[in-house]
């Protein structure tokens, strides 16, 4: 059974990230390339600023919130980070959540959907791809951004424009392929 988890990075009250993340999750479920699609909402995960005494590489987690976060991420066969761009970067909430763990990220294929003003969060997306690469996560090539996204969210609902559904489908399919390749390599080893 394959599981895709979609991480909503923004925790801002009134965030666009939540409707965008819900749309992506629904699109991924319709796509059917994963058996299970779940949302990990960082507002609900509610991690404090990094407060573990040991390097995450040791896996020696002290706090219940870290153990719960670790279990959630560990369960994912692939991840998509849905992230805004704040001052040219992803939000601190995302960096903080990533820094809590180590082995849980290793080898897990990563998709990135950013959104923002005219650039669609391209700078933030590049940063997230660097971060994922550092953590040895296979990075999807179909990562994409939603530019000038503000008019696409009304009453808590994201409405895709031409091409959005296709971009989401391509990303989800590529991640499913990366997961299958990873399983095949594991079986051959």
Binding mask 9-38 for ligand FMN (x = CB under 6 A): -x-x--xxx---------------------
Of all residues in the chain, what percent are helix, strand and coil, respectively (each to 5)? 45, 20, 40
Asked if 156 is part of the footprint of ligand FMN (rule: CB under 6 A), the reply reads: no
Asked if 5 is part of the footprint of ligand FMN (rule: CB under 6 A), the reply reads: no
User: What 3-state class would DSSP assign to 37?
Assistant: strand
Tell me which stretch binds ligand FMN (CB under 6 A): 53-61, 86-94, 128-136, 158-166: 86-94
Within the chain, strands assigned E span 3-8, 36-41, 78-84, 110-115, 144-146, 153-154, 157-158
**Interface pick for ligand FMN out of 87, 155, 187, 188 (rule CB under 6 A):** 87
Tell me which stretch binds ligand FMN (CB under 6 A): 72-80, 82-90, 135-143, 157-165: 82-90
Tell me which stretch binds ligand FMN (CB under 6 A): 42-50, 57-65, 80-88, 156-164: 80-88
Evaluate the CA torsion angle 68, 89, 38, 46 in order and state its sign. positive
Asked if 95 is part of the footprint of ligand FMN (rule: CB under 6 A), the reply reads: no
Q: How far is the CB of 21 from ligand FMN (least distance, A)?
A: 9
Closest CA to 20 of 124, 149, 127, 132: 149
Binding mask 105-144 for ligand FMN (x = CB under 6 A): -----------xx-x-x-----------------------
- Give the C-alpha separation, 175 to 178, whole Å: 5
Chain-centroid distance of CA 185 in Å reads 23
Closest CA to 104 of 61, 51, 142: 61
Interface positions with ligand FMN (CB under 6 A)? 10, 12, 15-17, 84-88, 116-117, 119, 121
């Amino acid at each position: 059974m394959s599981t895709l988890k979609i991480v909503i990075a923004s925790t801002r009250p009134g965030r666009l990230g939540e409707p965008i993340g819900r749309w992506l999750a629904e699109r991924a479920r319709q796509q059917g390339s994963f058996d299970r699609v779940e949302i990990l909402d960082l507002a609900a995960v509610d991690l404090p600023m990094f407060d573990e005494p040991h390097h995450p590489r040791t896996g020696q987690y002290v706090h219940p919130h870290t153990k719960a976060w670790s279990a959630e991420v560990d369960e994912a066969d692939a991840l998509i980070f849905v992230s805004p761009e704040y001052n040219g970067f992803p939000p601190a909430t995302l960096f903080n959540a990533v820094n809590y763990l180590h082995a849980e990220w290793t080898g897990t294929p990563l998709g990135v959907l950013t959104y923002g003003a005219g650039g669609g969060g391209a700078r933030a997306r590049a940063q997230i791809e660097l971060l994922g690469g550092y953590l040895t996560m296979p990075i999807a090539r179909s990562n994409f951004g939603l530019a000038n996204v503000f008019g696409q969210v009304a009453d808590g609902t994201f409405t895709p424009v031409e091409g959005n559904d296709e971009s989401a489908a391509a990303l989800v399919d590529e991640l499913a392929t990366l997961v299958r390749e990873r399983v095949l390599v594991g079986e051959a080893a």
